[in-house]
Structure 1
Amino acid sequence: MLTDLRDRLGKIVFERVAGADGPKHRDRIHNTPGERWFADDRPIRTVHADSSMFVGGLRALLLQSLHPLAMAGVAGHSGYRGDPWGRLQRTSYFLAVTTFGLAEDADEAVARVRSVHARVRGKAPDGRPYSAADPHLLRWVHVAEVDSFLDTYQRYGTAPLDQAGRDGYVADEAFIARKLGIVDPPTTEAELREQLAAFRPELEGSAEARATARYLLLRPPLPLIARPPYAVLGAASVASLPRWARRPLALPPQLPITEATAVRAAGKAVVGMLRWVTTPPAAEAPAA
């Protein structure tokens, strides 16, 4: 009975995240022999296989929205409101294939993303031009994403990384970043912190960024039954943001005790539930 429940819930979550082609992609990514970009023991595989990515993905979207040019590109071209699940599925496929998939499939995924970036250009509401292929703007999106995935894994992952592991994760991500045309991506945790801080003068809470935060946190396109656990994931993502990122997005001020206890505990519970429903029973069984 419990196994059947897990299977049903896992299928629902997987279909939402991976889409109709998810089973086909999963089989090719994980079961086709051939060269991969990353060995089995690389930190990127540890982080990207963990359900803390659900929190990290939300945090990354919130943090990335603080750059007005990045936000203008997302608002004008991504269709994140008209087709939020499609965007999630495309993103999850890219993360999966570049982390776990065949090298040739990863190269193809990068080429598709670079082709899309080359066509995404326009003007922000303040009149400044933007291009999704701009290496500087790409680096901001990359830095915000890597910081988010690493931070939330350290909070909610199964086995937080030591310093060598954290540096290794940033270095693994830098390999993908260079493939995407990003110049001088961070390769250590210290460099990641430095580059994140260097972007702060460019960041602001635009009206579109605040609207995006409200949409992601308060009006997600989810059935009512899924909204309570999603609300916990949202609270966990907000709690993990840097303190300076909250006010520009009109988010509640930091409550250190509440966030360190109630939000952290609730976040761990929901991430643990997601880990349970998305982990095949065979993967939990000890080796014979």
Structure 2
Amino acid sequence: MAGDPGLFGPRSVTWQLHADPMMWIAGVRALYLQALHPRAVRGVMQNSAAFHMDARGRRDAWGRLMRTADFVGTLTYGTTEAAERAGAAVRGIHRRLTATDPDTGERYGIDEPALLLWVHCAEVDSYLHVLRRSGYPVSDAQADRYLAEQRASARLVGLEPDAVPGDRDALAAYFDGVRPELALTPEARQVDAFLRRPPAPAALVPARALLWQRVAHLAYGALPAYAHDLYRRPAPPPAAVTRRLRATGRLLRAVPPTVRWRLPPRHVLRAVERLGPDTRPAPYKLRRSAAILDGHDGMQGELRG
């Protein structure tokens, strides 16, 4: 590779996973999950134009979603300099923002490590959960490797990498510990209502009813059972959700990658142009990697025997 591979590079699990189209559904699941942390969701609601009218009476909901996608794409597929610059910009914004607890009047910064950690863990858990459940070939060892790799992303938003869960067991332990803090606040209800019916121009309202509501319903269904209990809304049986995730995954992955990657924000396309065609993300590369690791482990076992 002649160019800079960035933070992760084409041999990483992150490089393969983040190019999958199911990441969009995973991102919506992450928003649902993140909204259940009272302090975190207040920080978003009190500082986001997505939920407050601007001077022209418009909401910047879609702009917020695209900026999030752009940030994840830059960290995954951009150069090292671009990723560091994006992280510095986000840290700078977070340092300037505060939120108020309506019950106590406490003013707190939204860059508190506990809040940043919750947002990070909800994101990586959602990415990994939705992609694996929808049929993307990620082994347990690769899932652990992905979580370890994502400590680099955590560092860029202001967390100490060693304080971030680096495997599935650590991530599960984190969620067990944080669950007593989660609740359905009025702000979480607003996020739920927004995700079910986001504002859209009149011409796009039929598309919202046809497409977006299905995406939101599927993302909601993919939440853990305790999240459904907190939201107090029923969800389809887990087996039905899995079938729909797999069907949606097959449908979206049938669209040629070269077509998908030309849509904004185009990070994958630019990375492949920078590093060469052999670096194209693809599920088969994870299958091949897992097969090589399995073969290596088997050979090591024979030698030990």
Provide the TM-score with structure 1 as the length reference: 0.79
The one-letter code of the counterpart of 1:189 is R
The one-letter code of the counterpart of 2:61 is P
Verify: 1:152 aligned to 2:130, yes or no: yes
User: How far did 1:240 drift?
Assistant: 0.9
Match of 1:237 among 195, 212, 219: 219
User: How far did 1:32 drift?
Assistant: 9.2
2:99–2:110: 8 Å Cα contact kept in structure 1?
A: no
Counterpart position of 1:47: 17
The one-letter code of the counterpart of 1:133 is D
Verify: 1:255 aligned to 2:234, yes or no: no
Counterpart position of 1:11: none
What is the alpha-carbon distance in structure 2 between the residues aligned to residue 57 and residue 275 of structure 1? 21
Match of 1:137 among 95, 101, 115: 115
Percent identity between matched residues is 32
Counterpart position of 2:274: none
Which of 1 and 2 has higher RCO (CA within 8 Å, sep 6+)?
2
User: How far did 1:234 drift?
Assistant: 1.3
Counterpart position of 1:125: 102
What is the alpha-carbon distance in structure 2 between the residues aligned to residue 177 and residue 185 of structure 1? 7
1:50–1:275: 8 Å Cα contact kept in structure 2?
A: no
Counterpart position of 1:187: 166
Local SS of the residue matching 2:164: coil
Verify: 1:224 aligned to 2:194, yes or no: no
Match of 2:248 among 245, 253, 267: 267
What is the alpha-carbon distance in structure 1 between the residues aligned to residue 183 and residue 10 of structure 2? 39
User: How far did 1:130 drift?
Assistant: 2.8
User: How far did 1:197 drift?
Assistant: 1.7
Gaps (5+ residues) in structure 1? Answer: 1-30
Gaps (5+ residues) in structure 2? Answer: 52-58, 263-276, 282-305
2:148–2:166: 8 Å Cα contact kept in structure 1?
A: yes
1:65–1:209: 8 Å Cα contact kept in structure 2?
A: yes
CA deviations over 1:148-183 (Å, ceiling 9, x no partner): 0110111225x3210121011101111111232213
Match of 1:211 among 181, 186, 190: 190
User: How far did 1:258 drift?
Assistant: 3.4
The one-letter code of the counterpart of 1:144 is A
**Rg comparison, structure with higher value:** 2
Verify: 1:176 aligned to 2:176, yes or no: no
Alignment size in residue pairs? 252
Shift in alpha-carbon separation, 1:122–1:65, aligned structure 2, 3 A: same
Match of 1:166 among 126, 143, 151: 143
Shift in alpha-carbon separation, 1:257–1:155, aligned structure 2, 3 A: closer
What is the alpha-carbon distance in structure 1 between the residues aligned to residue 216 and residue 177 of structure 2? 26
What is the alpha-carbon distance in structure 1 between the residues aligned to residue 200 and residue 226 of structure 2? 28
